[in-house]
Amino acid sequence: MGFQTTTPFGDQRPGTSGLRKAVTVFRQADYLENFIQSALDCLPGVAGATLVIGGDGRYYNSAAIQTILQMAVANGVARAVVGRGGILSTPAASNLIRQRGTLGGFILSASHNPGGPDGDFGIKFNGANGGPAAEALTEAFFARSLVIDGYRIRHGADINLDRPGETRLGPMIVEIVDPVADYAALMENIFDMAAIRALFAGGFRMVFDAMHAVTGPYAREILENRLGAAPGTVINGTPLEDFGGHHPDPNLVHAAELVAMLSGEGAPDFGAASDGDGDRNMILGRDFYVSPSDSLAVLAANARHVPHFRGGLKGIARSMPTSRAADRVAAGLGIPCYETPTGWKFFGTLLDAGRISLCGEESFGTGSDHVREKDGLWAVLMWLNVLAVRRLSVAELVRELWRDYGRTIYGRHDYEGVATEGANALIAELRAGLAGLPGTELGGRIVATADDFAYTDPVDGSRSERQGVRIGFADGARIVYRLSGTGTSGATLRVYLERFEPDPARHECPAAEALADLATLAAGHAGIARHTGRQAPDVVT
């Protein structure tokens, strides 16, 4: 076992979901090692513990796992559970951590960010509940990384990650497991598999776009082998180190191939896609896009048709910028709805305390109490279960939501890779102007509330501030501004727009049209062009 001296890097602060950097940054000598040792130094009980390790298969995944294994041995870890080939989707890793009662695990992924030697890499730690480490812990990792002067590592040959079963690495046991088996078993316990099988047997057709990312093997096994979806249902199903050169980001821009397949006569009934690490989902009907916020609300309204939720939902949570469609359903069901900051780590305490059963984000993330991560394939199966029972089309289910609760029209505008100084100045200016806004008129609307979102966790009392600038209008419309915490170069500004439309006669209006005046107002009020030089967003979802 070796002790290697090192010097700190100043930039290892985890963001919305772990530490994400360009591969070139991660490959600097000692960079990965410093972060892993910083984490291990902050975790109680590492000696003798079991850790789960796996990632989304992107470039640098295997090399990083070999390093982490050698560091785990040197730090006294007793057992490492690793997905075969180093592969574990994020929700499958969360499940393994829970099933095995481990100390936690390292999940290697930069999620929807592009991969390859010039792409991004990422790493995060999930604790014993299977969920992403809370902010207090990731801040402790960061503080440690600023003063670290050495790390422990064993020097020895790599192990074969492709051979299932147990291998010894010095005194530590490495157990290579089938990445799909436990996850597929969990899904069978949650859903009415027979009903979904009958749906497919009756001629229902779907396409699942795995985007050359981690969900391919999971989707093939569950959708095609176990549920009888036609062979070829899963497209782009082979995980590639560079995701075929694409962004593995399931939205209308990056999953354009799927969107095209779902349009026109003869298109399948249902389309879905997941992201790099398998925790996001996009849901499409024939010629119909389901806004993620509406998806959460539809699933909440129909949860009782799914065996796992037969007893009813305890509560729902959504991240602050997610639309309030789910709140309206929660009110209808007579259950609480919580509003948390962006990032799955904030749902963990609510799930652990049994306060919520379902949660989601506008960024194509939906999940439940079955694991402590958002779960792409789970969301697809949840939709399939509801479709199988209700026997309505995707569009009919969404229109039913709008009819029953009114339509919460929603859009997110992303300005990617803008200069950091401009983005920071824009947010600073917005913050400075907040106090004077209530009661004034902006673009014909009266401002009712204006603040920078702060959150006190109702379970553990922890406090998170500066989580997004929000402006609420008297007519119920809302604008939210925040900067991304997952990017790796420059800044990404996200602008979230929302408006309520109770009148069914106006429900079919395209979101972009219905939100056009609010979008103009949002851009003008923040001075987006002035601060960023951008006239239009890069991605609208």
Q: What is the CA radius of gyration of the chain?
A: 23
Distance CA 426, CA 527 (A): 7
Give kind and range of the element (H or E) at residue 431.
Answer: helix 420-433
Q: Is 33 a residue that touches Co ion (CB under 5 A)?
A: no
Instruction: Considering the complex, state which of residue 50 and residue 492 has its C-beta at the smaller distance from Co ion.
Output: 492
Residue ranges binding ligand VG1 (CB under 6 A): 16-17, 111-112, 275, 279-280, 319, 342-344, 361, 363, 365, 484-486, 494
Which of 401, 359, 399 has its CA nearest to residue 382? 359
Instruction: Considering the complex, state which of residue 70 and residue 323 has its C-beta at the smaller distance from ligand VG1.
Output: 323
Which of 121, 124, 120 has its CA nearest to residue 97? 124
Q: Pick from 279, 327, 369, 375: which binds Co ion (CB under 5 A)?
A: 279
Give yes or no for a contact between 296 and 383, defined as CB atoms under 8 angstroms apart.
no
Instruction: Considering the complex, state which of residue 75 and residue 293 has its C-beta at the smaller distance from ligand VG1.
Output: 293
Range in contact with Co ion (rule: CB under 5 A) among 131-139, 189-197, 276-284, 449-457: 276-284
Give yes or no for a contact between 71 and 32, defined as CB atoms under 8 angstroms apart.
no
Instruction: Considering the complex, state which of residue 318 and residue 328 has its C-beta at the smaller distance from ligand VG1.
Output: 318
| Cα separations in angstroms, 260 against 167, 269, 272, 377 | 46, 13, 12, 21
Q: How far is the CB of 404 from Co ion (least distance, A)?
A: 31
List 15's β-bridge partners, or say none: 18
Q: Which of 38, 109, 111, 464 is catalytic?
A: 111
Instruction: Considering the complex, state which of residue 348 and residue 365 has its C-beta at the smaller distance from ligand VG1.
Output: 365
Q: How far is the CB of 275 from ligand VG1 (least distance, A)?
A: 5
Q: How far is the CB of 322 from ligand VG1 (least distance, A)?
A: 8
| Cα separations in angstroms, 178 against 70, 163, 221 | 21, 10, 12
Q: Is 361 a residue that touches Co ion (CB under 5 A)?
A: no
Instruction: Considering the complex, state which of residue 215 and residue 236 has its C-beta at the smaller distance from ligand VG1.
Output: 215
Distance CA 271, CA 288 (A): 10
State both tokens at 320: 């602050």
DSSP for 276-315?
Answer: TTS-B-EEEETTEEEPHHHHHHHHHHHGGGSGGGTT--S-
Q: How far is the CB of 249 from Co ion (least distance, A)?
A: 9
Give yes or no for a contact between 464 and 408, defined as CB atoms under 8 angstroms apart.
no
Q: How far is the CB of 248 from Co ion (least distance, A)?
A: 8
Distance CA 429, CA 106 (A): 38
Q: How far is the CB of 111 from ligand VG1 (least distance, A)?
A: 3
Q: Tell me which of ligand VG1, Co ion, none is bound by residue 363, counting a contact when its beta carbon lies within the kind-specific cut-off of 5 to 8 angstroms.
A: ligand VG1
List 359's β-bridge partners, or say none: 317, 367
Q: How far is the CB of 403 from ligand VG1 (least distance, A)?
A: 28
Q: Is 375 a residue that touches Co ion (CB under 5 A)?
A: no
Which of 259, 361, 318, 355 has its CA nearest to residue 455? 318
Give kind and range of the element (H or E) at residue 487.
Answer: none
- Residue 111 annotated as catalytic: yes
Give yes or no for a contact between 292 and 360, defined as CB atoms under 8 angstroms apart.
yes
Instruction: Considering the complex, state which of residue 318 and residue 355 has its C-beta at the smaller distance from ligand VG1.
Output: 318
Size of site (CB under 5 A) for Co ion: 5
Q: Pick from 249, 275, 361, 414: which binds Co ion (CB under 5 A)?
A: 275
Q: Tell me which of Co ion, ligand VG1, none is bound by residue 220, counting a contact when its beta carbon lies within the kind-specific cut-off of 5 to 8 angstroms.
A: none
List 167's β-bridge partners, or say none: 174
Distance CA 479, CA 433 (A): 14
Q: Tell me which of Co ion, ligand VG1, none is bound by residue 485, counting a contact when its beta carbon lies within the kind-specific cut-off of 5 to 8 angstroms.
A: ligand VG1
Q: How far is the CB of 73 from Co ion (least distance, A)?
A: 29
Q: Which residue is nearest to ligand VG1 (CB)?
A: 111
Instruction: Considering the complex, state which of residue 102 and residue 486 has its C-beta at the smaller distance from ligand VG1.
Output: 486
Q: Pick from 111, 233, 291, 293: which binds Co ion (CB under 5 A)?
A: 111
Q: Pick from 56, 224, 249, 277: which binds Co ion (CB under 5 A)?
A: 277
Give yes or no for a contact between 374 and 365, defined as CB atoms under 8 angstroms apart.
yes
Q: Tell me which of ligand VG1, Co ion, none is bound by residue 361, counting a contact when its beta carbon lies within the kind-specific cut-off of 5 to 8 angstroms.
A: ligand VG1
Residues with catalytic roles: 111
Q: Which residues bind Co ion (CB under 5 A)?
A: 111, 275, 277, 279-280
